[in-house]
Amino acid sequence: MKAVPTSGALGAEIQGVDLASDLSDETVLEIRKALLEHGVVFFRDQHLDAEAHKRLARRFGEIFIHPFFVAGDDPEIMVIHRKPDDTSIVGFEWHSDTTMAPEPPMGSILYAVKAPPVGGDTLFANQYVAYERLSDGMKDMLDGLRAVHSDRRVAGPDSGRNAGRTTKARDDSDWCETMTLHPVVRTHPETGGKCLYVNHSYTVGFENMTEGESKPLLDWLMEWGHRPEFTCRFRWHDGSVAFWDNRCTKHLAVNDVVGHERIMRRVQIAGDKPV
């Protein structure tokens, strides 16, 4: 197995592994080490059916059931389908997955069932570096500060996110908002490193402040977290896999596919309470 870095900030392409069959304890340990070192790891030319995909995820933890996307036949799997005439997509803004949950997923494994010939790349941003590059004064100010995370921007009858896209979030009247407080700077439970932990999709304000009061600093932190020098970019082909550490990275799906279908399959891995 060989890990080839994809940028100076984060990401590595792992070569020499068949994820459908080579799941020895040694291989799983090496993949986990690479994930912790690089934040996101990529694989090419894989052949994963749904069961193999879930089997791979379970080697790293329990499967996390997504709380508000409309599931198909299998709630453990989320299919992200873009049809040629779709005008909107899932994940078009910088985010970490499902952070309004009390225990957000530790990671996600995304598999390209059908990639477009061009476009539809995914960008990732290193939140260790985003925190490390802050001034000492900013770090002191953020120490102990907590943020409010909510899913009202991405689900529910008032979000408007389902318009123009095939993959749907719940927007029925029985949907209920989930809100949780998380630290603005979290400590990674495996590496001990500190990470900036706010994102566009879910973070709506700071604890004990109005959203208006929170907005200037929160907007700055979220934009800071994906400066170009903190990022890498992954181009998809059929059979490509991205496995990202949701605790220390953000990501964004580029909405630039024109006239082509894109089908991705995602399985998320359960995590723990951010501290």
Which candidate, 130, 123, 140, 165, places its Cα nearest to that of 248? Answer: 130
Predicted confidence at residue 28, as pLDDT, reads 97
Residue 274 covered by a domain:
no
Residue 69 covered by a domain:
yes
152 is catalytic: no
Predicted confidence at residue 271, as pLDDT, reads 98
Residue 58 covered by a domain:
yes
Choose, from 81, 82, 95, 170, the residue flagged as catalytic.
95
CATH code, domain carrying 198: 3.60.130.10
Predicted confidence at residue 72, as pLDDT, reads 78
Choose, from 53, 82, 170, 251, the residue flagged as catalytic.
251
Predicted confidence at residue 160, as pLDDT, reads 86
* Beta-carbon contacts of residue 58 (< 8 Å; ≥ 6 apart): none
Which candidate, 131, 153, 109, places its Cα nearest to that of 264? Answer: 109
Residue 199 covered by a domain:
yes
Report the number of distinct structural domains present in the chain: 1
227 is catalytic: no
pLDDT along the chain (275 residues), means of 10: 96 97 94 98 97 97 92 89 93 96 98 97 98 98 97 90 89 91 98 98 97 97 98 98 98 96 97 98
Predicted confidence at residue 219, as pLDDT, reads 96
Residue 172 covered by a domain:
yes
182 is catalytic: no
Choose, from 97, 151, 182, 188, the residue flagged as catalytic.
97
> Can you give the pTM of this predicted structure?
0.96
Residue 15 covered by a domain:
yes
Residue 245 covered by a domain:
yes
Residue 275 covered by a domain:
no
Predicted confidence at residue 174, as pLDDT, reads 85
251 is catalytic: yes
